[in-house]
């Protein structure tokens, strides 16, 4: 007899936790994994929840175990594996059955898969799930994309398993096709930037001020009780405070400084270029991870040029200045991220709900923070206004941009890299400059390419008096 409300393929880190979460919320679930031993071990270890979980060892058995019209979640690596699973499932499914890709798909792939569904394939939803292993188990943030009717069919399950912010589910429909995975990609881009900015002030404290990991942990713990309250500041404090089980010193001092990535930040940066949306803080963070990976080159660089001068001392910058700088950088980064989402809404004709995006990020996801609630309020008033122009955030930028300037300036003088924070500062300064230097760019473009330019005293296109080009 078909009993399960929903199915799930892929019992890896995320899939296993999501399946337990679904079962815990009272929804019988059938599961299948490529490696059968994993399915068996998962079921054996599911404790009380095992009664609501049907382990299956073939895709046919999985499909047979789910009530029609079926919904089957894929939690497998993004890319060809998703296409392979869709191809394997499609002949086994009936009209009205639905596949839900909950991995970190590139939204262009999700658009293509949604288009295939519209041509008669199985129904298809692409949902972004954030919160890591812990979020998947106890409440992730969920960003849905596809046909609204398909989302509505499974929304009760997705809302039940999602994180709650003061009782409101952090699971929201974002729009058609790849809209959910697009918003998830921007989330991940912001995540890269948040992490990089925190790492930059960590660098000032460690290399500039000579603070120990334990002292830095205390700083993060203090900041987590103020305007910077966020999951990423909280875990930065925990990482800095943790002891190395082997050597007994701070584990942070033993971790190799080469950052990994699965590509979602890079996708965001690439898409931002297509959309002509400036997300310079995120781009700097993606580049910083790439530079971190070039360890032998960095070592050769230090051997050739010598280490950066540093010698910042404790007098040059205060912890309070660093906190204010981080607040300022964070606002600028989010302003860029939301502006990119606005640009995508216009370019793809997606009704992306900006205030709801801020709301859905308030709990469950990696970038959850106290500031997102205020962002949701500001975006509710004016969804299309750059967040840095919203009064609540303009006031905060006014109060903190001098600190950001001082931090970036001191870091530059002392050779401490601050790529993301300085990108934020440059964005701030460009966005407050009514008369920019692009007049020279236009003059140059006209000189070599006869591209023409508008004059300040009239809107028509003109050419300059440059010799044969004039």
- By the criterion CB under 6 A, which residues form the site for ligand NDP? 10-15, 33-35, 38, 75-78, 81, 103-104, 129-130, 132-133, 262
Question: Exposure pattern of 107-136 as b/e (b: 16+ CB <10 Å)?
Answer: bebbbbbbeebeeebbbbbbbbbbbbeebb
Q: Which residues contact 51 (CB under 8 A, 6 or more apart)?
A: none
Q: How far is the CB of 153 from ligand NDP (least distance, A)?
A: 22
- Confirm whether 67 is a catalytic residue: no
Q: If you write DSSP's letter for every residue of 136-194 in order, what string do you get?
A: HHH--EEEEEE-HHHHHHHHHHHHHHS-EETTEESEEEEESTTHHHHHHHHHHHHHHHH
CA–chain centroid gap for 388, Å, is 19
Count of beta carbons in the 10 Å neighbourhood of residue 298 = 14
Active site residue 184: yes
Residue 244: closest CA among 223, 213, 201: 213
Q: Which two tokens stand for residue 376?
A: 């949701």
Please state, in angstroms and rounded to a whole number, the distance separating the CA atoms of residues 7 and 9. 7
Least separation in angstroms between residue 412's CB and ligand NDP is 35
Do 105 and 82 form a contact (C-beta atoms < 8 A)?
yes
Q: Write down the least CB distance from residue 62 to ligand NDP, Å.
A: 12
Which residue in the list 191, 200, 283, 363 is annotated as catalytic? 191
> Which two tokens mark 71?
């919904």
Cα dihedral 243, 246, 252, 256, rounded to 10, equals -170
Q: How far is the CB of 129 from ligand NDP (least distance, A)?
A: 5
Q: CB of 357 within 8 A of CB of 291?
A: no
Nearer to ligand NDP by Cβ, of 207 and 271: the residue is: 271
CB atoms < 10 A from the CB of 259, how many?
16
> CA angle, 341 as apex, 174 and 138 as ends, to 5°?
50
Nearest-CB residue for ligand NDP: 12
Residue 156: CB partners within 8 Å, gap ≥ 6?
none
Q: Is 361 helix (H, G, I), strand (E, B) or coil?
A: coil
Name, in order, each residue with C-beta under 8 angstroms of 26's C-beta and a sequence gap of 6 or more: 52, 160
Secondary structure of residue 231 in the 3-state scheme: helix
Question: Which secondary structure element, helix H or strand E, spans residue 371, and what is its range?
Answer: helix 371-381
**Choice among 184, 200, 271, 283 that is catalytic:** 184
Q: Which residues are identified as catalytic?
A: 184, 191
């Amino acid at each position: 007899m078909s009993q399960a409300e929903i199915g799930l393929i892929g019992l890896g880190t995320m899939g296993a936790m999501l399946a337990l979460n679904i079962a815990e919320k009272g929804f019988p679930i059938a599961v299948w994994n490529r490696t059968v031993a994993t399915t068996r071990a998962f079921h054996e270890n599911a404790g009380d929840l095992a009664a609501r979980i049907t382990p299956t060892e073939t895709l046919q058995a999985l499909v047979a175990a789910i009530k029609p019209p079926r919904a089957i979640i894929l939690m497998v690596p993004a890319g060809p594996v998703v296409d392979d699973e869709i191809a394997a499932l499609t002949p086994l499914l009936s009209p009205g059955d639905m596949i839900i890709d909950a991995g970190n798909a590139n939204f262009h792939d999700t658009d293509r898969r949604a288009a295939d569904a519209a041509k008669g394939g199985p129904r298809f939803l692409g949902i972004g799930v954030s919160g890591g292993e812990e979020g998947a188990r106890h409440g992730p943030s969920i960003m849905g994309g596809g046909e609204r009717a398909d989302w509505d069919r499974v929304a009760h399950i997705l809302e039940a398993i999602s994180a709650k912010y003061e009782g409101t589910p952090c699971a929201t429909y974002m729009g058609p096709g790849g809209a959910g995975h697009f918003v998830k990609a921007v989330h991940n881009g912001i995540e890269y930037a948040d992490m990089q900015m925190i790492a930059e002030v960590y660098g000032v404290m460690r290399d500039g001020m000579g603070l120990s990991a334990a002292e830095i942990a205390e700083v993060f713990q203090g900041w987590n009780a103020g305007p910077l309250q966020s999951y990423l500041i909280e875990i930065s404090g925990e990482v800095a405070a943790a002891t190395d089980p082997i050597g007994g010193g701070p584990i942070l001092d033993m971790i190799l400084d080469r950052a990994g990535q699965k590509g979602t930040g890079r996708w965001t940066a690439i898409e931002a270029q297509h959309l002509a949306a400036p997300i310079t803080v995120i781009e700097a963070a993606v580049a910083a991870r790439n530079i971190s990976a070039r360890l032998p080159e960095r070592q050769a660089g230090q051997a050739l040029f010598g280490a950066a001068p540093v010698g910042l001392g404790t007098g040059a910058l205060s912890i309070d200045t660093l906190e204010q700088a981080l607040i300022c950088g964070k606002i600028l980064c989010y302003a860029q991220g939301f502006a990119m989402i606005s640009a995508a809404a216009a370019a793809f004709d997606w009704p992306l709900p900006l205030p709801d995006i801020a709301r859905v990020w308030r709990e469950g996801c990696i970038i959850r923070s106290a500031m997102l609630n205020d962002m949701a309020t500001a975006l509710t008033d004016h969804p299309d206004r750059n967040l840095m122009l919203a009064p609540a955030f303009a006031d905060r930028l006014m109060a903190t941009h001098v600190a950001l300037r001082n931090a970036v300036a001191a870091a530059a003088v002392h050779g401490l890299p601050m790529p993301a924070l300085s990108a934020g500062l440059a964005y701030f300064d460009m966005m407050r400059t009514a008369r920019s230097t692009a007049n020279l760019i236009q003059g140059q473009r006209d000189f070599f390419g006869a591209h023409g330019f508008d004059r300040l005293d009239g809107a028509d296109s003109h050419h300059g008096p440059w010799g044969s080009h004039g």
